[in-house]
Amino acid sequence: MNNEQDCVVISSAGPVVHSDRGFLLRPSGVTDKTAGTVGLSMHYGTLPPATKITPHYHPYESIAFTVSGSNRVYFGPKLEKFIDLHPGDFIYIPANALHSPENLSADVPSEYILSRAAPDEIILYPETQPATESQ
C-alpha cells in the first residue's frame, strides 16, 4: 500500500474557546481543518465547575473519556435519565441522542477527551429545529 499522506501533530497549546453554551474547547483538536481528517475528529475540553451544558445532540456517534473531575450526563428524549462519570470512565453517545453534561463539583473543573465520527464538531439544539405542524 502506497499512501503519500503525512502524519500530523497538533499542539494542544492553543487558546481555549469559551462557548456560550457552557463548555470550553481548545480549537487545536484533530479535525478536517487541522489535520485533513475525513471521518473522525478529537478534542480536549474543560467543563468549568458547577456548569451544565445546554441540551444538544450530534448527527454522528461520539465517545468521551473523563480525564479529571466528576460529571453527570443527562440523556433521553426529556433528559430523564443520567449517568455519573469519574476519571477513567468512557461514555458512548449514539447519533442524535439528546444529552447535557454537568460538572458536579462546585470548585474543580472537569477535563475530557471527545472523539467524534465526523471530521469536525456539529452541534444541534432542540430549540433551533423547525417547528412541526400538528395534524
Q: What is the pLDDT of residues 68-91, one digit of tens each?
A: 999 999 999 999 999 999 999 999
Task: Write out residues in the chain with pLDDT < 50, as ranges.
Answer: 1-2, 130-135
pLDDT of residue 13: 56
- pTM equals 0.82
pLDDT of residue 17: 65
pLDDT of residue 22: 62
pLDDT of residue 6: 84
pLDDT of residue 12: 67
The residue assigned the cell 469559551 is 18
